[in-house]
Structure 1
């Protein structure tokens, strides 16, 4: 063994009790291999300290490859990094990412990864540990559902602010952990295997848009009334928020789309609202919420009836965040119909009047959709106002984002080419557009059925008779009987001339 730091000779390390000479020689080679990993005396002293500590705890020498990896990356050999410590280091290194992405990483680490896995040594994290975390999350989902269904106000209040974790969020949690462990492998060589990469989770089924047919609306109204009564009982006589009851009632799908008549009814009701132009633009051209509130006047080209989608306003918690679209496909220019462009001109005149009223207090932000003082519109304000208009119009609820789904479905039902729909929506591929928007309006489905039937219809043509069997057809020179009956077996049947 190497000497101490002060040069004092160290007591030799002796071990006995091996059953064979080969076992003893293998252990000796293992010890020599550990001490040969580095020639630096300080590192060799660390290796010695590690060997003695591990032998005392486990009666065996430390793993050679694990120590080699730590020596090569200049780690403290006698300190073990936990999952929590590495996740903290991972977050520090993620500086050049979108604010929303970093917030997502931080919430996954804070709410799930550290509480369930934080105390485990990073190099001893197993697939079963990660699978157990997701099992625990699913168990808590069941607790939330049970408490909410109990009807006991105290039990309901205990989980009021806890939301069940769905399959999509679980996949994102795993993706965050997998990314953090990949960095530990590639940059610091703390691991040689990523256990998060092989954990199996339930597949995520993307909800397809569902049309609000008359039958579904009737069913929803009954569910909404029952939901409202439950809320009143839970609140024990206190006022129930009508919008919360309106959007909280069960619906056939998380993604609902209005029919053409329902969309027109909403636009007619919202005509006098100061944000009508925003809702019209989303309903007709399928902009995302952040893209809609992020439209700027320099990007509106009235002469060409086109709008450039080059900016967006998203939310980080409650804080609005401005920036360019995240993908090249989302940064685009779209054509706009004449009526919508005329509505935008009316909106610009209204904004000019508001500017005169505000005078020096007006903030010239350059955005198309602003508050009354000219400042950029908060995305959540657009959503809250949308829900109120839907409720007042007496329509079944949809999300503001579902107006975008409705625009896509309407384009496909109108026969617009799938490639144009993809570019208008800002999707990366037409395959994604086609797979997502498979629902069509009932009228379009009926028209497609009629068109198919019409194509197949035509003049009635008599069906041809059955093809006669050669064995049962009488031929010249035969008796009309099947071969082998009433004739010698060697009789030759004449064939018809060519």
Structure 2
């Protein structure tokens, strides 16, 4: 049945009792019966389908149009919307609900083209869900996620997706909205850089606890949104996965490079230039804003870590690694750094290692847990992947280092007495409590700087363990199994670039033996 509707005029005049006359005002009509062109405003009324229980629904009434043409145009738009349902009564009720909600919230009718598209693609018609409402529900419904992945997704939601996109209705999300989010992330990166370079306390307060977001992290943020929208499409909440259409720089890991003597020499030159530049900037800032006190003083760690390097992934030679370990031997986390350097554990795996998973008599450790830090939060979970759960062999020197470490920990347990926390962890603080992974990284950087070594990331000790296996003549399969990578392709992609560099370094080392030898007398 075609929807019934009509246009008419009404006004705000009142009778002697104060009651509005509405459509009954005699001034609305001319003597010849035509509508007055100067009095009243145009309206329309449209009958809507009944509710699901058969009860009558209030008609759609809209008022305030300057002429009949405008009123009839919107009336026809409302009729067009109802006609989309044809003889489908259930769909007709949904469209009526949509019309009522839209008029109440936006004062406008929905677009017939958009409604047809949603009907054609099986989407819900009356969507009011925002990304801020949907994303937490989506994450909660992911029952099979590893805890580490869940925490990573939650961090992406909390830090980036919900603050930037949470207010947008899920069916109205556009590529431009996601692009704008990544532009905000780039602005945050610039702010963090300026805060480090200038030591401005105001800027530092704004970015406290935040880290620069690299290309790989941006890829993970987009992957989180893409996964959520994929499910939203299956649920009929949206039609297009706009996250798949966003262009980002490649998040592919850079090739690993070895710290050769030539690269170290260039880095030292670049470091001097970097320190001079940072010092000049901070002195200018201090001069312009004396209230900041000693903000111009250069932080040595900032300069050391921030200086340019040939690649983000740099690897020490065996000699440089030995030099670091000799310096770290005096620190309580020496055994942790030793284990990473020799057997390639991830930082979180080393922090989460338990004595029950260590067999020093047999010479093995079993990786079952890891401690992850995301922002200020610390949590324990399973390894990164199924391949990460494995038993690896220990060399004799690593067994000796762990035995010495256990003896020192036992002495700390006796000294702590009742204040000792029996966590069962291999690496703890003085009271047996778990250690914070970020503090392990910070201490590693300080030790490397104090040793006078070129900078690498703590994770690059793991890369170094792979490079030493390759230098010793082992194949990629051994590297994959030792580092517990999910595929040999990942091992080859990451470490193939090291082979010619290691060959060059071995040639240099062999030549040095001859050139530095004392001549025979």
Matched residue count = 436
Q: Which residue of 1 aligns with 2:494?
A: 436
Q: How has the CA–CA distance of structure 1 residues 46 and 69 changed in structure 2, closer, same or farther, with 3 Å as cutoff?
A: farther
Work out the CA distance in 2 between the residues paired with 1:275 and 1:149.
27
* Maintained 8 Å contact 1:178/1:194: yes
Aligned-pair distance for 1:439?
A: 1.1
Q: Which residue of 1 aligns with 2:23?
A: none
Q: Which residue of 1 aligns with 2:170?
A: 122
Q: Which residue of 1 aligns with 2:256?
A: 209
Matched, 1:303 2:361: yes
When Rg is computed on C-alpha atoms for both structures, the one with the higher figure is 1
Specify the SS of the correspondent of 1:252: coil
Matched, 1:399 2:457: yes
Matched, 1:326 2:378: no
Q: Which residue of 1 aligns with 2:275?
A: 228
Matched, 1:66 2:66: no
Q: How has the CA–CA distance of structure 1 residues 369 and 362 changed in structure 2, closer, same or farther, with 3 Å as cutoff?
A: same
Show CA shifts across 1:57-88 (max 9, x none). 47857623525777x85x6x3x5434444335
Work out the CA distance in 2 between the residues paired with 1:267 and 1:143.
35
2:504 to 445, 451, 463: 445
Matched, 1:38 2:89: yes
* Maintained 8 Å contact 1:4/1:10: no
* Maintained 8 Å contact 2:175/2:243: yes
Aligned-pair distance for 1:130?
A: 3.5
* Maintained 8 Å contact 2:367/2:388: yes
Residues 417-496 of structure 1 mapped to structure 2, 5 A cutoff: 417-437=475-495, 438-440=497-499, 442=501, 444-445=503-504
Aligned-pair distance for 1:408?
A: 0.6
Work out the CA distance in 1 between the residues paired with 2:395 and 2:488.
22
Show CA shifts across 1:262-293 (max 9, x none). 11111222223322221111111111111112
Q: Which residue of 1 aligns with 2:26?
A: none
TM-score of the aligned structures, taking structure 2 as reference length: 0.71
Aligned-pair distance for 1:450?
A: 13
Report the structure, 1 or 2, having the larger strand content.
2
* Maintained 8 Å contact 2:198/2:278: no
Aligned-pair distance for 1:448?
A: 8.2
Q: Which residue of 2 aligns with 1:361?
A: 419
Work out the CA distance in 2 between the residues paired with 1:130 and 1:29.
34
* Maintained 8 Å contact 1:313/1:323: yes
TM-score of the aligned structures, taking structure 1 as reference length: 0.74
Q: Which residue of 1 aligns with 2:439?
A: 381
More deviation, 30-39/421-430: 30-39
Residues 148-159 of structure 1 mapped to structure 2, 5 A cutoff: none
Matched, 1:170 2:228: no
Aligned-pair distance for 1:411?
A: 0.5
More deviation, 400-409/118-127: 118-127
Work out the CA distance in 1 between the residues paired with 2:239 and 2:111.
25
Q: How has the CA–CA distance of structure 1 residues 143 and 436 changed in structure 2, closer, same or farther, with 3 Å as cutoff?
A: closer
Q: How has the CA–CA distance of structure 1 residues 82 and 353 changed in structure 2, closer, same or farther, with 3 Å as cutoff?
A: closer
Work out the CA distance in 2 between the residues paired with 1:123 and 1:31.
21
Q: How has the CA–CA distance of structure 1 residues 59 and 285 changed in structure 2, closer, same or farther, with 3 Å as cutoff?
A: closer
Q: How has the CA–CA distance of structure 1 residues 36 and 135 changed in structure 2, closer, same or farther, with 3 Å as cutoff?
A: farther
Aligned-pair distance for 1:165?
A: 4.0
Aligned-pair distance for 1:52?
A: 8.1
Aligned-pair distance for 1:231?
A: 3.5
Structure 2 residues without counterparts, runs of 5 or longer: 4-47, 63-67, 70-75, 287-293, 511-521
More deviation, 171-180/34-43: 34-43
Q: Which residue of 2 aligns with 1:371?
A: 429
Work out the CA distance in 1 between the residues paired with 2:85 and 2:472.
73
* Maintained 8 Å contact 2:226/2:244: yes
Specify the SS of the correspondent of 2:392: strand
Work out the CA distance in 1 between the residues paired with 2:56 and 2:83.
20
Specify the SS of the correspondent of 2:460: helix
Work out the CA distance in 2 between the residues paired with 1:397 and 1:150.
18
* Maintained 8 Å contact 1:308/1:332: yes
* Maintained 8 Å contact 1:211/1:441: no
Aligned-pair distance for 1:383?
A: 1.9
* Maintained 8 Å contact 2:60/2:100: no
* Maintained 8 Å contact 1:51/1:62: no
Structure 1 residues without counterparts, runs of 5 or longer: 18-24, 452-498
